[in-house]
Amino acid sequence: MKKYFLLILVFTVACTGKNAEPVIEIVPTYTPQITATAVPPTPLPTPTLVPVEYSDAEFLDFPDAVSFRLMDYNINWDSIFPDDDLQNMGYREINRQDEFSRLVNAIQPDIICLQEINPARKPQQIADMLIEITGDENWKAVSERDNVIATRFDFIEGYIFDISNYPPELPQAVSMIDLPDEKFGETDLFAICAHFKAAGTSSDIKTRQRQADVLLNRIGDAMTPGDSIDLPINTPYLLMGDFNVYDTDPAYHLTSMITGDIVDEDRYGGDISPDWDGTDLGDVYPSINNQGLDWDTWRDDGSPYSSGALDRILYTDSILKVINSAILDTTLLTDEAFDKYGLDFGDVLFASELGNYDHLPIVIDFELIAQ
């Protein structure tokens, strides 16, 4: 019976694309559908032998007093909410409440970017959950589509993208985060938490590019006087989330986001310089447990898809400096690390299944570069 179920599961995964990345638009009224037009999966590459090294998770220690910590995590649809939560998406597959709680308390982020939260949820629900998990009353959250930005700092109102003219699948969550003045001076942080369209049809690829073009158009507005939003000059920003960067297409949307190259210029305007000094954005490109051996943020050994760095943290590296970064894989930690940080072996696994992680959480510490 179990084998039969597994066969169905494998078949379903093969038909629907990335595990737990259903081929659907993230619009509440849209009926999810299994498509027959998915691009056939690429043949499995010859497995590369990644050396296994166990880590004490020293990257979870705070590097210094003037850094802030980011956590980015595609949690897989509504997995962090209780089983009986009425707003769970129909295709929610697992309960990760306890795991998420341990991860947040071990990582102790100042800013969190989450994807695959039911768009119908009020962001305050996520803030309340983080207050309960951490005991810190300061958590606040904003959301757009399935993207949520939460912070224990404050938000500064008035810095939002005008997205009124765009189809609902294109916008992403944005916010201005008030970095504490005593540590960061007058500089605050603009944050964009994005989820690019999943799956591999030509329509999916086009949607990812349009999402990139829309973001670049809005960032261009934010960085120049006039129109709907003006960031204070040299405001650092993060452009982070699940970019769905696959090896089955050129993933030009990532190149666009790094370089400012808008593809549909008729609709979204001319190219921009995404960093304040006229250069490209930086791509943190962290590695598993900061070991420099493996850079994949998504992995499911039982699926026909290659693992890959689907999730990205882009940043204005003229203003921000990465001083510590890691993709957290709890299955490669020592017993000492479990004791010290209160983590369990399977905290990042998908349904406790070895070799299947879905997405992994990312931890980055940033410092401001003195201007």
Using CB under 5 A, list all residues that contact Ca ion.
178-179, 181, 188, 221, 227, 230, 261-262, 271, 275, 279, 317-318
- Beta carbon of residue 346, minimum distance to Ca ion (angstroms, whole number): 38
Shortest Cβ distance from residue 198 to Ca ion (Å)?
Answer: 24
In one-letter notation, the amino acid at residue 96 is: R
Report the first-to-last Cα separation within the chain, whole angstroms. Answer: 64
Sign of CA dihedral 106, 107, 108, 113: negative
Could you give the CA distance from residue 313 to residue 2 in angstroms, rounded to a whole number?
39
Closest distance to Ca ion from the beta carbon of 314 (Å): 10
Rank residues 188 and 296 by Cβ distance to Ca ion and give the closer one: 188
Taking the complex as a whole, how short is the minimal distance between the CB of residue 279 and Ca ion, in angstroms? 4
Nearer to Ca ion, 115 or 172 (CB): 172
Backbone angles phi, psi at 113, to 5 degrees: -115, 120
Q: In what order do the strands lie in the sheet with 111-115?
A: 140-144, 147-151, 111-115, 67-74, 362-368, 320-327
Among candidates 63, 68, 76, which has minimal Cα distance to 300?
76
Q: How far is the CB of 231 from Ca ion (least distance, A)?
A: 8
Report the alpha-carbon angle 113-114-120, nearest 5: 125
CB of 218 to Ca ion, least distance (A): 9
Cβ atoms of 252 and 207 closer than 8 Å: no
Task: Choose between 197 and 218: whose C-beta lies nearer to Ca ion.
Answer: 218
Nearer to Ca ion, 193 or 258 (CB): 258
- Tokens, residue 31: 């009926």
Instruction: Let me know if 3 is exposed, middle or buried by CB neighbors in 10 A (0-12, 13-18, 19+).
Output: exposed
Q: Which is nearer to Ca ion, 176 or 310 (CB)?
A: 176
Q: Which is nearer to Ca ion, 123 or 274 (CB)?
A: 274
